[in-house]
Structure 1
């Protein structure tokens, strides 16, 4: 638990230093922020609310990062983790692990991947939607799950080999929704994506 608390404190410190609340001034990001705070806790709480042989884990962190930007996403994901704990009545240890492995780590990976794509790949809408929204989400979520399993956070009642397969398949499901929502927002609600820029990707 000490590692998870350290990661949460480090991310919160970096986020607060960047003053993410400024993102809400003069923008329409309040809508995706409220949607995240209302919907995502229930998705995170599914494994504890429905006991199944294979628990389905939903992250949503890459999508939250694309919508809100990393600094504001950190605050939102920590709030989601706290709300999830209240909904599912889980322990503080479980809540800390949930915030780090399903929230902050995939969000940070999404930030780093996005920076790499903007630095070394051409600025094109398909690069944004497919690279950051779809394939990037697969890699970020699966990498976070790999690290979680390596540190002992495995799926219950499942062997390590099957856990890897399950994490890989669940990452694709998560990424499919992220990519789909990203494409819809680019087409109809680009102002709900803090990481999108018409000037950069449409050369306008």
Structure 2
């Protein structure tokens, strides 16, 4: 979903853009750049390119109602919260530069397609780490599969709400024609996120910043139990 600028007043376009730039500056300040693994960093840059290509392979009904995989869960689990926001900003800027978006709507799209899904996935990850056992299956199924699907559906639902409140399309049209597509696509997002993260933690765990071998793979059971 890449919302056109024409649907929104100028003050919404500029306020969301300035707020997005402020958040990106804060995100950049929270990243420990000197401590980044150069191997993982190369993998993350490659993930940005692949995500950009995935966003370009889309279908759509009307302007603002496009359907494509999001990849936010994969980027969040690979990079962590702050780097994932920066990565999705790069992806969104690249897609916009290609001509698939409006620069004035960049801020609004960033909040919908980056901040919302990344925050949701990060929150699910923290809750599973706090409330559930340190189990590899839980990490993949809840943190990647379920959170990945939920992130896309939440983004689609938020986009529909924004379009409806802006008066871009009638509510009944949005709910009957667009919402079912996002629901169905969320299962593809869930499967893709879960599969890719399962492969990465098996073959390239060094690329996954949120995966800790000592937490998920070590035998923490009490031998005297």
Range class of TM-score, shorter chain? 0.7 to 0.9
User: 1:68, 1:194 within 8 Å by CA — same for their partners in 2?
Assistant: yes
Aligned-pair Cα RMSD in Å: 2.6
- Cα gap change, 1:10 to 1:171, in 2 (>3 Å): farther
User: 2:14, 2:104 within 8 Å by CA — same for their partners in 1?
Assistant: no
Deviations 1:3-26 (A, max 9, x none): 6325523531331231242452x4
For the pair shown, the structure with the greater C-alpha radius of gyration is 2
Corresponding position of 1:17 = 29
4+ residue segments displaced more than 4 Å:
50-54, 153-158
Decide which moves more: 160-169 or 73-82: 160-169
Query: Displacement of 1:69 after TM fit?
Result: 0.8
Report SS of the residue matched to 2:134: coil
* Equivalence map 1:113-128=2 (5 Å): 113-128=124-139
Corresponding position of 1:161 = 176
Corresponding position of 1:189 = 204
Task: Kindly tell me the number of residue pairs found equivalent between the two proteins.
Answer: 201
TM-score by length of 1: 0.85
Deviations 1:83-139 (A, max 9, x none): 111112531134333322222210111111111111111110000000111011111
Report SS of the residue matched to 2:67: coil
Q: Distance in 2 between matches of 1:191 and 1:116?
A: 23
The answer for unaligned runs of 5 or more in structure 2 is 1-12, 220-225
Q: Distance in 1 between matches of 2:35 and 2:85?
A: 13
- Cα gap change, 1:70 to 1:174, in 2 (>3 Å): same
Q: Distance in 2 between matches of 1:89 and 1:180?
A: 28
Is 2:144 the partner of 1:129? no
Q: Distance in 2 between matches of 1:18 and 1:190?
A: 23
* Equivalence map 1:43-122=2 (5 Å): 43-47=54-58, 55-88=66-99, 90-122=101-133
Decide which moves more: 158-167 or 56-65: 158-167
Decide which moves more: 1-10 or 38-47: 1-10
Q: Distance in 1 between matches of 2:135 and 2:93?
A: 37
Deviations 1:160-181 (A, max 9, x none): 2232211111111112111100
TM-score by length of 2: 0.78
Query: Displacement of 1:150 after TM fit?
Result: 1.2
Q: Distance in 2 between matches of 1:161 and 1:52?
A: 12
